[in-house]
Amino acid sequence: MFHAGLGFPGGFTGVDIFFVISGYLITSLIAGEMAERRFSVLTFYERRIRRIFPALFAMLGASTVAAWSLFMPPEFSLFGRSMALAALFSSNIGFWLESGYFDTIAQFKPLLHTWSLGVEEQFYIVFPLLLAALGRFLPGRRTAIIAVLTVASFLMSVVWVRRAPEAAFFLLPARFWELGTGSLLALVPSLSVRHATLGACLAAVGLALIAAAVFGISASTPFPGAVALLPCIGTALVIAAGTSANPLSRLLGTPPLVFVGLISYSLYLWHWPIIIFAQYRLGHLLTGSEAMLALAASLVAATLSWRFIEQPVRRRALLGRRRTLFRSGAAVAAASVALGLAIPAMGGLPGRLPPEVQKIYAVKQEASPFSGLDCFTDNNGAGLDTESVLKGKLCSMGALGGRVSFLVWGDSHAAAMAPAFDSAGTSFGRRGLFVGRGGCPPLIGYEYLSSDAAKRDGCRAQNNAVIDLLKRERIPLVFLVARWPREVLGAQNGLEGPFYDPAAPYPTRDRSEKVSSALDSTIGAMAALGVRAVLVMDVPEPGYDVPVSLARAALSNTVANVNPTRAAVDARQGLALKVLRQAAARWSVSIIDPTPWFCDAKLCRVELAGISRYRDADHITRRTALALAHLFDRSFAAQYTKSP
């Protein structure tokens, strides 16, 4: 229900409930067999393979077919890596390295849910061996050692959730305590409840704690950490109460709920890919009715998977011999890993797409040459360093020889527009330099938006280095280019998630005073050096990843309405344009606005004849930038008449 967007804000704590149950069941099984001296590690792993492999690899196969048919190359590459990791039961590690569970890009990860299977199977690789070793060498201290490990893991989770939240969420060391809680429940028989009244009370408290987690926790809650005690302790209480004849436990044991339990593994496997592929095909987050249909389809798929895939293998109607099972399991896992690695190695197999879709999608590659790391510093600080800026070791633009007479300074939007200055500078025989940094507007004395201290410091240092460069080189003309609306409004255009909705409101805050003050500081510092500034307004922001949206539409024979209205563009840009105009008036500098080139009175064209003018949701293509070169002729002509 949480994944389908049907409420239950803390529904993701179902994983924590599952971990406690899983730890309890497996430890009960292993401890019972050890007590009877018939435990076999080989038999244990055979049972795990029969339980896990059939439905998992059936789901991976079906998801591969869907991803092959629907996904664009980058998404298919991401899928391939996920499949290889899922087949190795290490997708939790991969997703930890990639991004968070609640990031918008999660909407393009149909195998994201396999992270919890990775945690569980990693636990099952280690835990039976640990129990066997303790049972042989320290039988009297087995429970105490498991308890110490469980407490240590819990403390680690509490610390990590604040210092390394992604690691706390995805990795086994910070999740061990949840499985360990169930294990301790199995290892201490005295924790079971026999009295019906006490059992009913514990079950009620346990269900209340679970409800508090499901309805009181949300994606913004630091998790797991201490707050994960709610679902875990709640689950432990329900399990402990289950050995007594109380009405709540009997309710949980009714046939409909038992059936959900029987199909739960397949339901877990199939529901998330169905939701993700449905959203991708429809191009938006599921509506309430669509979500209900997706859940109904998930129940049908889970029932069929349980009946015709899980059961035959578990009951040995298929792959009855252990050797055959192990060989088949190894073969299908190896094939999944090989295919998963091949997909990104071949660039997401763009050749599988129809030629017309490939042509539309190819616009994604039309990046500005000034966006490369030899000319530009990316958001993570890679590429051009501050020392190079200080020394003027920057990428040249415009004419090949002569004195440097202009500088283009800005963020990634400046890099995208840089070919326009390159072309205009060449036409006027003027040589220039480019300096840019991702997410870093060309402002000094500015409170930068990033919450990352290293990024703020890097931006500040690079911009100060630009002023030092201007002081030393006396470059007479500087173009200031940035994604000004983001700085003034403190937000991207609708946060630009994978399913952008231009009609949906998004949070903004008026930062115009901060930007205005920093513009005054920056233009003033340049004026003191005799440098003429030109302010360049940002291009319209479509919000959609335009080439991807157009390619998806072509693939599904639908229409992508990616062109924003002029009213929407004006609403987004209005405050930023006002700030720039006021600064231009105060300092008697020029301002250039490319918006009229894109827009008429009603509509702004971010595509023409089905070909995108943008290579993503806000950066223009090189071809588009070159078409804007004429907008800067007046600036170069004015410089030409003033300086020989």
Q: Tell whether the model's pLDDT for residue 479 goes beyond 80.
A: yes
Q: Tell whether the model's pLDDT for residue 596 goes beyond 70.
A: yes
Asked whether 465 and 485 are in contact (CB, 8 A), the reply is no
pLDDT at 497: 74
pLDDT at 101: 67
Q: To the nearest whole percent, how much of the chain has pLDDT over 90?
A: 88
With cut-offs at 50, 70 and 90, classify the pLDDT of residue 638: confident
DSSP letter for 286, please.
Answer: P
Q: Tell whether the model's pLDDT for residue 625 goes beyond 60.
A: yes
Measured distance CA(318)–CA(322) in Å, rounded: 11
Asked whether 384 and 642 are in contact (CB, 8 A), the reply is no
| Structure confidence by residue, pLDDT tens digits, 428-444 | 999 999 999 999 999 99
Cα 67 to its chain centre, rounded Å, is 18
Q: To the nearest whole percent, how much of the chain has pLDDT over 70?
A: 98
pLDDT at 643: 46
Q: Residue written as tokens 């009997």?
A: 250
Start-to-end Cα distance in the chain: 70
Across the chain, what does the average pLDDT equal? 94
Question: CA nearest 538: which of 569, 503, 567?
Answer: 569
Measured distance CA(563)–CA(549) in Å, rounded: 11
Question: What domains sit in the chain, N to C, each tagged with a CATH number?
Answer: 11-352 (no CATH), 368-642 (3.40.50.1110)
Q: Tell whether the model's pLDDT for residue 641 goes beyond 80.
A: no
Measured distance CA(232)–CA(179) in Å, rounded: 9
The partner residues of 480 in beta bridges, in order of sequence, read 409, 535
| Structure confidence by residue, pLDDT tens digits, 331-385 | 999 999 999 999 999 999 999 999 999 999 999 989 999 999 999 999 989 999 9
Q: Tell whether the model's pLDDT for residue 427 goes beyond 80.
A: yes
Quote the tokens at residue 289: 């009715």
| Structure confidence by residue, pLDDT tens digits, 125-172 | 999 999 999 988 999 999 999 999 999 999 999 999 999 999 999 999
Q: Tell whether the model's pLDDT for residue 192 goes beyond 90.
A: no
pLDDT at 108: 83
Averaged pLDDT for residues 554-574: 94
Q: CB within 8 A of 85, min separation 6: which ones?
A: 91, 93, 94, 114, 118, 340
Q: CB within 8 A of 567, min separation 6: which ones?
A: none
Q: Does residue 165 have a cis bond before it (omega within 30 degrees)?
A: no
pLDDT at 644: 39
Quote the tokens at residue 1: 């229900």
Greatest C-alpha distance within the chain: 98
Asked whether 557 and 588 are in contact (CB, 8 A), the reply is no
pLDDT at 227: 97
Averaged pLDDT for residues 473-486: 96
With cut-offs at 50, 70 and 90, classify the pLDDT of residue 202: very high
| Structure confidence by residue, pLDDT tens digits, 277-310 | 999 998 888 999 999 999 999 999 999 999 999 9
pLDDT at 496: 75
Measured distance CA(583)–CA(392) in Å, rounded: 27
| Structure confidence by residue, pLDDT tens digits, 525-546 | 999 999 999 999 999 999 999 9
With cut-offs at 50, 70 and 90, classify the pLDDT of residue 102: low
Measured distance CA(8)–CA(102) in Å, rounded: 15
Give ∠ CA 89-92-98 in degrees, rounded to 5.
130
pLDDT at 498: 75
Averaged pLDDT for residues 499-524: 93
Measured distance CA(559)–CA(175) in Å, rounded: 45
Amino acid at 152: A
| Structure confidence by residue, pLDDT tens digits, 225-275 | 999 999 999 999 999 999 898 999 999 999 999 999 999 999 999 999 999
Q: How much is the pTM?
A: 0.87
